[in-house]
C-alpha cells in the first residue's frame, strides 16, 4: 500500500520520469523480497538499520557495484523520508546507514585548444548537415546543455535580442543560459541554411531530413565522429562536451555557484567534481614548467 502511494507521489507530485519510477519500484521490490526472506512477519514499517545493512552486504556479495548499492540505498532513504512525513513510521531506519565508498573518476573533457581546432569551419562540409553539426558542437561547448536539452530545443527558446537560450532540463525545470556574439553568428548562419534546406515548419531547432527532430543516437554519432578527429579519448559523447564546458569555465575563473546554475545542477556537490579536474590541470602545468617538479 505505502509503496504504491510513494511511487504515485514521485510520479504526480515530484514529476519523476517513468523510467525513474520503475527503478524505485524495482529497488523497493528487491528490498521487500530480502527482508521477507529474513522474516516473513516483517514489513516496511518494522525493518531496522541492521536489515538494511544486511541487504547492502548481500548485494555486494552478489557482485553489485558500489554505485548500484548506493543508488538502491538512496531509494530506501527517499521512501522512508516519505513514510516519516506521512507519520507511518517514527524512526527512519536508513538514516544512519552509510553506503560503500567509491572514488569518483574525474570527468573526461576536451582541452580548449582541441576544441578550437575542431570548430574551424574548414573541418565541416559546406552542406546543411555540415553547418548543422558544427552549430550543435558550438552549442554544446558554449552552453554545457545536455543531449536531451539540445534535442528538445525549439526556435522560440533562442532569444537573439537578449542573447539567452531557455533550456528545459530534468523534471521540466527551466533555466536561462547566456551566449555570446560568436555563437549568435553561428546560430543565425545555421537558421539561414536550415531555411534553404527545409521550407516547412520545424518542431525543433535542430532537424534532420524532412524537418524531423534528431534522435539521441544520431546526436551521439555526430559528436563521436567529430571528436575522433581531434582527441583519442575512449569516451566521445555529448556529455564529454558538457564536462568540457564546465572545466573550461572554472579554468577561466568562473565562480562555482555560477557554473552550477548554468549546468542546472541541484546540488553544488555535483558541480564540485570539476574543481578536481581543474586541479589536475594545475598539477600537470606545474610538473611541466617547474624545474624541481
Number of folded domains in the chain?
A: 2
Rounded Cα–Cα distance for residues 116 and 226 (Å) = 12
Answer for the pair 140, 223: CB distance below 8 angstroms, yes or no: yes
Taking residue 213's Cβ as centre, other Cβ atoms within 10 Å add up to 16
Q: How confident is the model at residue 292 (pLDDT cuts 50, 70, 90)?
A: low
Q: How confident is the model at residue 148 (pLDDT cuts 50, 70, 90)?
A: very high
Could you read off the pLDDT of 174-199 as tens digits, one per residue? 999 999 999 999 999 999 999 999 98
Of all residues in the chain, the percent with pLDDT exceeding 90 is 75
CA angle, corner 180, sides to 108 and 141, nearest 5?
15
Question: Has residue 99 been placed in a domain?
Answer: no
Rg (CA), the chain: 23
Residue 65 shares a structural domain with residue 206 = no
Domain with 25 in it: 2-85
Residue 196 shares a structural domain with residue 247 = yes
Residue 259: burial class (beta carbons within 10 Å; 0-12, 13-18, 19+)? buried
Question: Has residue 95 been placed in a domain?
Answer: no
Q: Is the dihedral of CA 63, 64, 70, 74 positive or negative?
A: negative
Active-site residues: which are they?
146, 170, 239, 242, 265, 274
Residue 147 shares a structural domain with residue 252 = yes
Residue 152 shares a structural domain with residue 256 = yes
Residue 63 shares a structural domain with residue 119 = no
Distance in angstroms between the alpha carbons of the first and the last residue of the chain: 63
Could you read off the pLDDT of 32-58 as tens digits, one per residue? 999 999 999 999 999 999 999 999 999
Residue 127, pLDDT > 70, answer yes
Could you read off the pLDDT of 164-176 as tens digits, one per residue? 999 999 888 999 9
Write the Ramachandran bin of 87: left for phi over 0, alpha for psi from -120 to 50, otherwise beta.
left
Q: Is the dihedral of CA 244, 250, 251, 253 positive or negative?
A: positive
Residue 221 shares a structural domain with residue 144 = yes
CATH (domain of 9): 1.10.150
Write the Ramachandran bin of 164: left for phi over 0, alpha for psi from -120 to 50, otherwise beta.
beta
Residue 63 shares a structural domain with residue 168 = no
* Closest C-alpha to 167, from 188, 181, 148, 142: 148
User: Which of residues 50, 85, 120 is at a domain's end?
Assistant: 85
* Closest C-alpha to 208, from 199, 198, 217: 198
Helix (H) / strand (E) element for 24: namely helix 18-38
pLDDT recorded at residue 272:
86
pLDDT recorded at residue 290:
63
What cell numbers appear for 287 in the block? 610538473
Residue 43 shares a structural domain with residue 171 = no
Residue 145's Cβ-side half-sphere holds a number of Cα atoms within 13 Å equal to 27
**Average pLDDT for 118-125:** 90
pLDDT recorded at residue 107:
85
**Average pLDDT for 151-173:** 95
Rounded Cα–Cα distance for residues 7 and 26 (Å) = 11
Per DSSP, the three-state class of 99 is coil
Question: Has residue 236 been placed in a domain?
Answer: yes
Residue 83, pLDDT > 90, answer yes
pLDDT recorded at residue 264:
93
Residue 127 shares a structural domain with residue 225 = yes
Could you read off the pLDDT of 225-270 as tens digits, one per residue? 999 999 988 899 999 999 999 999 998 889 999 999 999 998 898 8
Per DSSP, the three-state class of 41 is coil
Helix (H) / strand (E) element for 45: namely none
Question: Has residue 139 been placed in a domain?
Answer: yes
Residue 220 shares a structural domain with residue 135 = yes
Average pLDDT, the chain: 91
Question: Has residue 186 been placed in a domain?
Answer: yes
Could you read off the pLDDT of 203-225 as tens digits, one per residue? 899 999 889 999 999 999 999 99
Residue 105, pLDDT > 80, answer no
Could you read off the pLDDT of 259-281 as tens digits, one per residue? 999 999 988 988 988 887 776 66
Residue 76 shares a structural domain with residue 182 = no
Question: Has residue 260 been placed in a domain?
Answer: yes
Question: Has residue 94 been placed in a domain?
Answer: no
User: Which of residues 68, 85, 102 is at a domain's end?
Assistant: 85
**Average pLDDT for 134-144:** 97
Lowest mean pLDDT among 29-43, 92-106, 136-150, 188-202: 92-106
CATH (domain of 247): 1.10.443.10
Answer for the pair 49, 97: CB distance below 8 angstroms, yes or no: yes
Residue 81 shares a structural domain with residue 132 = no
pTM over 0.85: no
Question: Has residue 213 been placed in a domain?
Answer: yes
Rounded Cα–Cα distance for residues 108 and 94 (Å) = 33
Amino acid at each position: 500500500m505505502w509503496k504504491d502511494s510513494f511511487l504515485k507521489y514521485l510520479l504526480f507530485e515530484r514529476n519523476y520520469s517513468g523510467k525513474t519510477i520503475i527503478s524505485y519500484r524495482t529497488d523497493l521490490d528487491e528490498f521487500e523480497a530480502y527482508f521477507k526472506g529474513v522474516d516473513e512477519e516483517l514489513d516496511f514499517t518494522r525493518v531496522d538499520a541492521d536489515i538494511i545493512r544486511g541487504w547492502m552486504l548481500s548485494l555486494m556479495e552478489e557482485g553489485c557495484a558500489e554505485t548500484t548499492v548506493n543508488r538502491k540505498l538512496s531509494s530506501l532513504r527517499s521512501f522512508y523520508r516519505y513514510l516519516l512525513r506521512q507519520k507511518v513510521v517514527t524512526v527512519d531506519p536508513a538514516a544512519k546507514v552509510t553506503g560503500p565508498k567509491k572514488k569518483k573518476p574525474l570527468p573526461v573533457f576536451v582541452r580548449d585548444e582541441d576544441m578550437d581546432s575542431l570548430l574551424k569551419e574548414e573541418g565541416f562540409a559546406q552542406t546543411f548537415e555540415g553547418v548543422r553539426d558544427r552549430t550543435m558542437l558550438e552549442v554544446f561547448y558554449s552552453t554545457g546543455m545536455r543531449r536531451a536539452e539540445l534535442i528538445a530545443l525549439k526556435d522560440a527558446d533562442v532569444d537573439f535580442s537578449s542573447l539567452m537560450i531557455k533550456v528545459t532540463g530534468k523534471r521540466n525545470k527551466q533555466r536561462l543560459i547566456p551566449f555570446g556574439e560568436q555563437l549568435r553568428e553561428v546560430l543565425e548562419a545555421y537558421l539561414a541554411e536550415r531555411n534553404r534546406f527545409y521550407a516547412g515548419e520545424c518542431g525543433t531547432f535542430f532537424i534532420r531530413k524532412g524537418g524531423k527532430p534528431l534522435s539521441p543516437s544520431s546526436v551521439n554519432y555526430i559528436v563521436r565522429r567529430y571528436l575522433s578527429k581531434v582527441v583519442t579519448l575512449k569516451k566521445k559523447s555529448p556529455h564529454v562536451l558538457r564536462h568540457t564546458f564546465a572545466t573550461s569555465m572554472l579554468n577561466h575563473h568562473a565562480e562555482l555557484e555560477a557554473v552550477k546554475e548554468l549546468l542546472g545542477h541541484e546540488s553544488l556537490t555535483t558541480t564540485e567534481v570539476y574543481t578536481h579536474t581543474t586541479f589536475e590541470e594545475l598539477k600537470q602545468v606545474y610538473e611541466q614548467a617547474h624545474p624541481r617538479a
